[in-house]
Chain A
Amino acid sequence: MSFPIAQLLANSLIIGSIYALVAVGFSLIYSTNRFVHLAHGATVVAAGYALYSTFTLLHLPFILACILTIALSSVIGFLMFKAIYEPLQKRKSSTVIMLIASIGLLTLIENLILLFFGADVKTIGLLEVRQGINIAGAIITPLQIVLVLTSLTLLTVFYLFMKKTTLGRNLRAVADHKELASIMGLNPTRLMAISFIIGSALAGIAGILIALEQNLDPSMGTDLMIKGFSGAIVGGIYSVPGSILGSYLVGTAENVGTWFLPSGYKNAITFTLLFLFLLLRPKGIFGVDKGVRE
């Protein structure tokens, strides 16, 4: 069989769109708070199960189920910040302590989902499986087209929000220089909490999209977090376009790589890309060397 370049690119675009939503939320939280919030992956899975509960089990209208899911994701993110991270930051905990706390939260939430929903996979069943459409030699389902378009629209809106609005500017100011932001009368703690609310809402949307596209299982958060994290590092963790591009690169590397290698090597391919960047260009594709004048 010849190398199916169009299909591989389409698959990369689909999975990259989900990774990108995870990555931009993660990088927003990382840049304002300066610690690795691995439990971000748990928010994505919690959102998937929230959609399953509200739509599939409670039969709420789909739009209402989505709104509730996104709201719940923001609440989870906000509560994690208020109950765990903020008290730790007040005690001047090191980034290692914060990382351990985030791993603890990830494990806790994944296991709570396991406790309530069981280990068997869940499906949302919004649409019946339909035959895909052939676009330039690639077979794509209508749902996948909606998924990619939704993600690209949201990523554009998020980019414009960060660049053009006062709140976005203030979030970038805190990410850039927290002490100076405080001196200028901004409230860094409030803005850090807001970054959790917005970043987790993006995770919630990613959770909805992945729940529509794939089966849900309680441990999928760790895997998604690794991909989103890798995408953010590869592209440049402080840059929204960088995180998006990095995520699509991770998606492409995975899809193209598993054409040549067994699919069990998927994570190994992501890690190889991550390590290559950490070794050769740790600031990522969009990272900038800044001369700091002290």
Chain B
Amino acid sequence: MLTIQNLSAGYGELEILHNVNVKVNDDEIVALIGPNGAGKSTILKSIFALTTITHGTITFNAEEITQCKTHQLLERGISYVPQGRINFGDLTISENLAIGGKDIVEKQEYSERLAHIFTLFPVLKTKLSHTAFSLSGGEQQMLALARALMQKPKLLLLDEPTLGLSPKLQKELFTLLQHIRNLEHVSILIVEQNAKKAIESADRTYLLENGSIIMEGGKEIIENPKIQQVYLGGSY
């Protein structure tokens, strides 16, 4: 589905990623882990045309999208939930979702999509007229995910969705992501700080350090001595 080949990218003159190769297959959850500043978020931003790409290509469903603009990426089915302030805080939940579904022209189709989203995130239905900033941290993540799913994406890019959530909510979120993947047939590329959780939940994981991928594999890489020593030893 998504293939990143020999990608070098950064911000202006500053190159963060060096010769990165990442692949995401259909209906797959792929995690990007690594220390702060390794370039995990920069990979997502590069896919979403928010960085300066100096070398390499990004292809999506056999079409090169390296030079695509944001709206062209959305049209092709790529949605991105950034990190930090992830919602329109002053807008209501209903309005946030409407912005996600703004390209659905048919009213009937919009209502059906919204009803489907509420089956995944029932809590949102009860707070439609609330402003987004009044929601709890977990609910904010739900809203951001729901808004992205309103766009009917084929590939979801999630930048640390568990940030600031309690361990219980983190676990629930990963379960929910797996459920969404199965139900919606959407591939998910997720940046995650919690290495153990990411490896356990994802189908495959890439480990980044200093802008380069130094390891990739399935759930078995949790046994890898480097992962054990550095990432599960409490250093990060």
Given contacts A293-B137, A293-B140, A293-B164, contact A184 B91 (CB under 8 A): no
Indicate if the CB atoms of B102 and A185 lie closer than 8 Å: yes
Total A-B Cβ pairs within 8 A:
65
CB atoms of B70 and A238 under 8 A apart: no
A291 to B139 alpha-carbon distance, docked (Å): 14
Contact B90 A291 (CB under 8 A): no
Question: Which residues of chain A come closer than 8 Å to B164, judged between CB atoms?
Answer: 293-294
Q: Do the beta carbons of A291 and B74 come within 8 Å of each other?
A: no
Binary interface profile of A, 278-294, with partner B (CB < 8 Å = 1, else 0)? 00000000000011111
Given contacts A177-B88, A294-B85, 17 further A-B contacts (CB under 8 A): A166-B102, A169-B91, A170-B99, A173-B88, A173-B91, A173-B99, A176-B88, A176-B91, A179-B82, A184-B102, A185-B103, A238-B90, A290-B89, A292-B85, A292-B133, A293-B85, A293-B140
Q: How far is the CB of A89 from chain B (nearest CB, A)?
A: 17
Residue on B nearest A175 in the bound complex, by CB: B90
Known: A169-B98, A172-B91, A293-B137. A183 touches B85 (CB 8 A): no
Q: Count of A residues near B, CB < 8 Å? A: 23
Chain A: minimal CB distance from B100 (Å): 7
A-chain residues with CB within 8 Å of residue B91 when the two chains form the complex: 169, 172-173, 176
Chain B 129-163, CB-CB to A under 8 Å as 1, else 0, gives 00001000100100000010001000000000000
**4 closest cross-chain pairs (CB), A and B:** A185-B74, A176-B90, A176-B88, A185-B71
Residues of A within 8 A of B99 (CB): 169-170, 173, 181, 184, 186
Bound CA span A293–B85, Å: 6
Query: B140 contacts which chain A residues (CB < 8 A)?
Result: 293
Map CB proximity to A onto B63-90 as digits: 1 under 8 Å, 0 otherwise.
0000000110010000010101111111
Residues of B within 8 A of A290 (CB): 89, 133
List residues of A (158-205) whose CB comes within 8 Å of B's CBs.
Answer: 166, 169-170, 172-173, 175-177, 179-187
A183 near B80: Cβ-Cβ < 8 Å: yes
Minimum CB–CB distance for B71 against chain A, Å: 5
- From B85, B98, B103, B151, contact of A180 by CB (8 A): B85
A166 to B102 alpha-carbon distance, docked (Å): 9
Residue with the greatest number of chain A CB neighbours at <10 A, chosen from B80, B84, B88, B95: B88
B206 CB-CB contact with A under 8 Å: no
* Chain A CB within 10 Å, residue with most, of B80, B133, B151: B133
Q: In the assembly, what is the distance between CA of A172 and CA of B89, in Å?
A: 10
Q: Are A172 and B80 in contact (CB under 8 A)?
A: no
A180 to B95, CA, bound (A): 14
Q: Which residues of A contact B98 (CB under 8 A)?
A: 166, 169
Distance to closest chain B CB from A113 (angstroms)? 37
Residues of B within 8 A of A166 (CB): 98, 102
Q: Does B48 contact A (CB under 8 A)?
A: yes
Nearest CB to that of B98 among chain A residues? A169
| C-alpha spacing A173/B95, complex, angstroms | 9
Once bound together, how far apart are the Cα atoms of A181 and B85, in whole Å?
Answer: 12
